[in-house]
Amino acid sequence: MDARTVWITGAGTGMGRAAALAAARDGRPLALSGRRPEVLEEVAEEVRALGGTALAVPLDVTDRLAVRSAAAQIEEELGGVEALVLSAGLNAPRRYWRDQDLDEFAAITETNLLGPVSVIDAVLPGMRARGEGTIVVISSYSAWRFSPDAGAAYSATKTALGPLVATLNAQENRHGIRACHLCPGDVDSDFLDRRPQVPGAQERAAMLTPQDVGRAVSFVLTSPPHVVIDELVISPAKPGP
């Protein structure tokens, strides 16, 4: 049992996978969550190949009971969760008022806002009892600066993660718990396939890589316990005029 366990949602792909591999290199035991068991198992194998420990715990973050039982399973099999990386996220190609769909709006809200709340809620009592915990919420550049093409549901839910993190720091720092609102700009990942216009190879080459964000997550997780990184904004270098 190792209380340094890191639980990552959205761990099967993109930034979640990159954060997992970075945390494995830092020697942390990992619990990997997302909806697709097969991609989680692939990442778990990559972690084991690095000499690390990984447990795939498939779940849908919008399923509150599944989140609760996953938290209990992780505690039993890997020990208390010391760090959370919340990377599971959703956007829809129809993201303008002229074409958005209310069911999709609700799904984005359930995934991007209530999902993180549910996972955090499941681990906070244990973190409080142990007097330590780090929570990295992968938000978005569009939460830091209004981005007109991100869509109403995505912009609103990601922007709400800022105050979510701020309340955690205001109320839980005294219990040894700290949180970071991590706001990446464009990252070349599967997520871009859900844009109304899917970017091509040339556009993607100018973006951040998931590994860039994985390194930033590692920086937050490995900072000394008295350091709170409230917000971290990372963007690709600007092309200039």
The catalytic residues are 154
Q: With respect to ligand NAP, which residue has the nearer C-beta, 175 or 194? A: 194
Contacting ligand NAP (CB under 6 A), which of 89, 116, 133, 214?
89
Which residues lie closer than 8 Å to 50 by C-beta, 6 or more apart?
Answer: 21, 24, 25
CB-wise, 3 or 192, nearer to ligand NAP? 192
Site for ligand NAP in 112-171 (CB under 6 A): 138, 140-141
Q: According to the 3-state scheme, what is the secondary structure of 79-111? A: CCEEEEEECCCCCCCCCCCCCCCHHHHHHHHHH
Q: How far is the CB of 48 from ligand NAP (least distance, A)?
A: 19
- What is the C-alpha to C-alpha distance for residues 88 and 185, in angstroms, rounded to an integer? 16
Q: How many CB atoms lie within 10 A of CB 17?
A: 26
State the minimum distance, in angstroms, from the CB of residue 71 to ligand NAP. 14
From 9, 109, 118, 155, residue interacting with ligand NAP (rule: CB under 6 A): 9
Residue 34 in the binding site for ligand NAP (CB under 6 A) = yes
State which of positions 175-214 bind ligand NAP (CB under 6 A).
184, 186-187, 189-192, 210
Look up residue 66 and give its amino acid: A
Least Cβ distance, residue 14 to ligand NAP (angstroms): 2
Measured from the CB atom, the residue of 145 and 171 that comes closer to ligand NAP is 145
Indicate the burial class of 98 (C-beta count within 10 angstroms; 0-12, 13-18, 19 or more).
exposed
DSSP SS3 for 32: strand
What are the E-state strand segments in 17-57? Answer: 30-33, 54-56
Q: Using CA atoms, how far apart are residues 200 and 39, in angstroms rounded to an integer?
A: 24
Choice between 74 and 90, CB closer to ligand NAP:
90
User: Interface residues with ligand NAP (CB under 6 A)?
Assistant: 9-10, 12-16, 34-36, 39, 60-62, 87-90, 111, 138, 140-141, 184, 186-187, 189-192, 210
